[in-house]
Homo-oligomer: A and B are copies of this chain.
Amino acid sequence: MTNDLFSYSTPVFARHLRILDDIVGIAERHANDQKIDAAALISARLYPDMFPFTGQVRAACGTAQRATARLLGLEPAEAADNDKTFEDMHQRIRGTVTFLFGFTEADFAGADQRTIDFPTGNGSTPLTARAYLATFALPNFYFHVATAYDILRHNGIPLGKRDYLRIGSEI
């Protein structure tokens, strides 16, 4: 029997962060090849009060890291907001993947019994671990990965859904 709190969290976060790492690499190569100022792309946003590309990548990593910590009953680490280059983003993503791979299914034994009480805009909202993962962490994680992709597409980076989904690849 699978432990869903594991099966739908760290392996899928890690898989999609590796996809995001490759998407960052595609943007990086395109900027180099086309002599585009990296900073123009890295700081691009869909609207002035939305996160820029760096912020979407940071939020995807942060959501994966905090969700994993909370499901395991650990205190989520604070992540600095200081990415300035493609390399900074690669390092953040790879560090998060390493963190995620530090846990196995056995670590999630009993996770379904946890209540997760996390800070939100309106104070805090206690949720069961499963509701937290299924209705907050996963939609929030994919929101930031998809919006990072959308920012690049909006700026003409040659990407397609195949790059976002990578169907059939385990990791």
Instruction: List chain A positions with a Cβ less than 8 A from chain B.
Output: 1-2, 4, 7-8, 11-12, 15-16, 46-47, 50, 112, 120-122, 125, 127, 130-131, 134-136, 138-140, 142-143, 145-147, 149-150, 153-154, 156, 161-162, 164-165, 167-168, 170
Of chain B, the residue at the smallest CB distance from A150 is: B150
Cross-chain contact A142 with B134 (CB below 8 angstroms): no
Smallest beta-carbon distance A20→chain B, Å: 11
Copies in the complex: 2
Cβ-defined contact, A8 with B134, below 8 A: yes
- Residue of B7, B46, B135 near A154 (CB, 8 A) is B46
Closest to A140 in B: B165
Query: A4 — which chain B residues lie within 8 A by C-beta?
Result: 2, 4, 7-8
A115–chain B nearest beta-carbon distance, Å: 12
Query: Complex formed: what's the CA distance from A129 to B156 in Å?
Result: 35
Q: In the complex, what's the smallest C-beta–C-beta distance from A153 to chain B, in angstroms? A: 5
- Min C-beta distance of A66 to chain B, whole Å: 14
Nearest CB on B from A82, distance (A):
22
CB distance from A13 to the nearest CB of B (A): 11
Query: Which of chain B's residues have a CB closer than 8 A to the CB of A138?
Result: 8, 12, 138, 142
Q: Please list 30 pairs of residues, one from A and one from B, whose beta carbons are closer than 8 Å in the complex, sorted by A's number.
A: A1-B1, A4-B8, A8-B8, A8-B138, A12-B135, A12-B139, A16-B139, A47-B153, A120-B167, A120-B168, A121-B162, A121-B167, A122-B167, A125-B167, A127-B167, A127-B168, A135-B170, A136-B165, A136-B167, A139-B142, A139-B165, A142-B142, A142-B143, A142-B146, A143-B146, A143-B161, A143-B164, A143-B165, A146-B147, A146-B150
